[in-house]
Structure 1
Amino acid sequence: MKQLFDERLYHPETTGFGGLPDVTEHSNIRRTLSRQNSISNSDSGGEIASIQKSKVNFGNPLAGGVVVGGDIVGLDAKSPTSLGSTTGAGATGKAKGKASRKANAGPDGGQKGRRGSWLVAITLVSAICLLAIAATLAYQHFLMAPSRNSHAQRLRIVRRILREVPLVDGHNNYAWNVRKYAHSSLELHLSHDVDHKSLWARPAWAQTDMERLKQGLVSVQVWSAYVPCEAQGLDAVQLALEQIDIVRRLSDMYARETVLATSSQDIVDAHRRGLLASLIGVEGGHTIGSSLGVLRSFYSLGARYLSLTHRCDVSWAGSSASPAEQGLTPFGKAIVREMNRLGMMIDLSHSSDATARDVLQVTRAPVIFSHSAARQLCNSTRNVPDDILRLVAENGGLIMLSFDSEDVACGRQARLQDVIEHIKYVRAIAGIQHIGLGAGYDGIELPPLGLEDVSKYPELLAALLEDHNWSEEDVAMLAGRNFLRIMETVETVRDYWKRAAIQPIEQTEPQPKTQCTYMSS
């Protein structure tokens, strides 16, 4: 097997991924299923036609004839030949013809009668079965299914769903606030607080604390290591590392309540144990300093997604906030490939449309938008246009809905209903399998009314259940099942590449030597 992959590596014409063998198949699954469905539908049509044809012939298998002495004789009244025609002398022939008709009419008539009886019996049994099925479904729907008429009833349904499916919040800026306002200290008043509760005190800038995470039934929190664009080329790498350290220390300090998760199985295990799974995301490609070594180091420390850009371009990818529509450079494509190899999710929130399209062409794993909404409803630079929503669905990826008023209400004070409208719109364009939640708490200056902090997630899900177009399964997919599927698929791509013996990419991007660097790349 290794020899096969080595041969493909040395023969680029046999590869489809920049000199690397395309050993993954997920990108073709959607088209394959569509082809299979088309074939299945065609086959079904043929079967239906065949069944209809057999039904036509079932009542009269000889199509207008009966067997007499091994020969088929027509019964058409217009036919010149009939059973009543004579082959001998007059009356004797006629008598024999009449006797023959009487002899044959009896058995054939009895057979037809028995067939008719069987058809009636089968029809009755089928009707009874259909009525029984309908009655069972009606009973389950109206009597066994919990009522969704009141808000309290819907909240009970949400709690039951979230006991089975982890609720995932895909983006939270708490670590940046600790770095900025508490200078990365988690030891604040620790000597007087054995239970460490003071860490989760509620300063004015915070929309997140442990108590409210529990109230919100959050099972998976992705903590973002956010680094402002002003740090690009300066201490961006250091700021990202310090926030990764905050999340790791946080998990150690609150070991009875949260655990650091680095895989989809870690999330499942934490949810089963009733713990909050803490994941790490890094926001802004400038945090890696144009170094694949730094990217790999972030992954080793637990980072499981990287936002390629923030509100500024990087040398290898364009930002949605930039007037220039820049996409990926060759080095940017190398970063995408290396993230595929590592098993690191690619986050396209803040990326330019050109960057997003380039990534969707290059990647062999599904992508995410960790905190975005629909551009058709609100023309925010972080939001996603319809054509890219469709491309993300084809990629198998995920759009995680932002709660920021800038994204869902174009800067005015947002309300819970504004978020719901964006969720429903993205579902209509991309499909229920491609939506999730990435509020952006602790980075939202003006949270929506009704969704003021992380404790309000059940209110959102209960409000969705008011709409009977939303099933419990739909809510479960939005809450966390879709995110788990994406993470598992990214890990599957990683495992494919590992079995293919794909080595780390060693491409570099030349960087100019400045007063802030010891040496250039």
Structure 2
Amino acid sequence: MNQVKHAPAQGISDATKALHASLFIADLHADSLLWHRDLLIRSDYGQVDFPRMQEGNVALQMFTTVTKSPAGLNYHENSAHSRDNITLLALIQGWPMNTWGSLTARALHQSDRLHKFAERAPDTVRIIKNQADLAALQADRAAATKTKPMGAILGTEGSHALDGELANIERLYQAGFRMMSLQHFFDNQLGGSLHGVSHAGLTEFGRAAVQEMTRLGIMIDVAHSSEQVVRDVLALNTQALIVSHTGIYSHCPNERNIPDTLMQSIAAKGGLIGIGFWRGAVCDDSPKGVANAIQAAVNLVGEDAVALGSDYDGSVTTGFDSSQLLELTQALVDLGMSESTIAKVMGGNQARFFAKHLPSL
């Protein structure tokens, strides 16, 4: 379900290799914790593991936890009452019994998996929870002569992971979660999904949840949220928003991508737009196609608001995996993008955003 249809790379210059090696690369969205794989071991399937991240010079990965996914999901309309695929996956993969009926337990189980990877390989994997953790990661990577440490941040794929309880926001925060998206492919207790039935805005519970997330210092992701939810969250004016994995509508017009005007509003308030690597978001999943989507985003919202948002291991097919990000850097160079802009979109913007919006302690 997470295939890589990779064409052999051609024309990678020595100058691009040197540029790529100098970058702090960060990605805003991967669902790798969902699957029964040891991410400390290099796999020949899926799209992310720590050895491949190392090969691709990835410094920081946002790992998002999927807790519910409707059968037959599509970009047009999904019911919250459809059969849930993650329940079956939890049973097949032998997750703890408490995950069978609790979405919060599913998020915590995936968080526990990441923490165990970090415990097994503390020199390789660090869970980033605050500004000091991020600064230390940046300094240690800059000083490393061989193997560089890699950072991981936890996020949710939709706040149905709260099981309808505001108290679970702090519970997830204590487990290391530092970003929460509000919706996934269906409407939930916080409001409407971009792919749901109601297309409604924030509910009262949703407003209270956003306020609690803001109080704790949890970054808010509006990928998959309805247009009205995005407008409502912007109107609350609580903090800069993230769209963790998306495309630009004018570049790739489909129901997966929100209108350009909303993207511009998010960027105008200091937000971050993560460009995806799969065809549904960018209409062309080759390195050149993703580079063109990144350029379209830069043209629309400016170079300081654009980031990578792969959606790796999110049941999508991509044209390259995390070990092959050099090819994306070359594609951006081939477009004529400046090295300073490439450094921003490949990870500089993400590092700056996190340095500002992660908790100080």
Contact 2:25 2:57 in 1 (8 A): yes
Structure-2 residue corresponding to 1:490: 357
Structure-2 residue corresponding to 1:337: 211
Q: How far apart, in 2, do the equivalents of 1:350 and 1:250 lie?
A: 29
Amino acid in structure 2 at the alignment position of 1:213: M
Amino acid in structure 2 at the alignment position of 1:243: Q
**Displacement of 1:429 after TM fit?**
1.1
Deviations 1:433-483 (CA, angstroms, capped at 9, x unpaired): 1000010111243112xx2x1012122122212233x22211111122211
| Match of residue 472, structure 1, among 339, 345, 356 | 339
Structure-1 residue corresponding to 2:171: 297
Amino acid in structure 2 at the alignment position of 1:464: L
Q: How far apart, in 1, do the equivalents of 2:237 and 2:58 lie?
A: 30
1:251 and 2:91 are equivalent in the alignment: no
Q: How far apart, in 2, do the equivalents of 1:297 and 1:203 lie?
A: 35
Cα 1:405–1:486 shift into 2, 3 Å: same
In structure 1, the residue corresponding to 2:251 is in which secondary structure? coil
1:175 and 2:33 are equivalent in the alignment: yes
Structure-1 residue corresponding to 2:14: 152
Structure-2 residue corresponding to 1:510: none
1:242 and 2:109 are equivalent in the alignment: yes
Contact 2:42 2:51 in 1 (8 A): no
| Match of residue 161, structure 2, among 279, 282, 287 | 287
Structure-2 residue corresponding to 1:325: 199
Contact 1:337 1:363 in 2 (8 A): no
**Displacement of 1:357 after TM fit?**
0.9
**Displacement of 1:385 after TM fit?**
1.5
Structure-1 residue corresponding to 2:236: 362
**Displacement of 1:210 after TM fit?**
2.3
Cα 1:444–1:416 shift into 2, 3 Å: farther
**Displacement of 1:364 after TM fit?**
2.0
Q: How far apart, in 1, do the equivalents of 2:185 and 2:59 lie?
A: 29
Aligned length: 317
Q: TM-score, normalised by structure 2?
A: 0.82
Contact 1:336 1:363 in 2 (8 A): no
**Displacement of 1:338 after TM fit?**
1.2
Q: How far apart, in 1, do the equivalents of 2:149 and 2:228 lie?
A: 39
**Displacement of 1:235 after TM fit?**
2.1
Structure-1 residue corresponding to 2:305: 434
Percent sequence identity over aligned pairs: 27
1:208 and 2:48 are equivalent in the alignment: yes
Amino acid in structure 1 at the alignment position of 2:312: Y
Between 1:454-463 and 1:298-307, the stretch displaced more is 454-463
1:459 and 2:327 are equivalent in the alignment: yes
Deviations 1:259-292 (CA, angstroms, capped at 9, x unpaired): 1111233123123223101111111111011211
Unpaired stretches in structure 1, ≥5 consecutive residues: 1-148, 187-197, 499-521
Contact 1:172 1:440 in 2 (8 A): yes
Cα 1:378–1:473 shift into 2, 3 Å: same
**Displacement of 1:150 after TM fit?**
6.7
In structure 2, the residue corresponding to 1:487 is in which secondary structure? helix
Higher relative contact order (CA 8 A, sep 6+): 2
1:312 and 2:207 are equivalent in the alignment: no
**Displacement of 1:401 after TM fit?**
0.8
Structure-1 residue corresponding to 2:7: none
Contact 2:134 2:355 in 1 (8 A): no
| Match of residue 259, structure 2, among 378, 385, 398 | 385
**Displacement of 1:426 after TM fit?**
1.1
Structure-2 residue corresponding to 1:400: 274
Contact 2:243 2:274 in 1 (8 A): yes
**C-alpha RMSD of matched pairs (Å):** 2.2
1:346 and 2:204 are equivalent in the alignment: no
Written as runs of structure 1 = structure 2, the 5 A alignment for 1:400-419 is: 400-409=274-283, 414-419=285-290
Deviations 1:301-341 (CA, angstroms, capped at 9, x unpaired): 11010110000101221101014221101221111111111
Q: How far apart, in 2, do the equivalents of 1:267 and 1:217 lie?
A: 16
Amino acid in structure 2 at the alignment position of 1:458: L
Higher helix share: 1
Q: How far apart, in 2, do the equivalents of 1:433 and 1:315 lie?
A: 33
Q: How far apart, in 1, do the equivalents of 2:40 and 2:14 lie?
A: 32
Unpaired stretches in structure 2, ≥5 consecutive residues: 1-10, 70-83, 88-99, 141-147
**Displacement of 1:151 after TM fit?**
2.2
Contact 1:155 1:459 in 2 (8 A): no
Deviations 1:392-444 (CA, angstroms, capped at 9, x unpaired): 111100001111222111xxx63222211211111111110100001011124
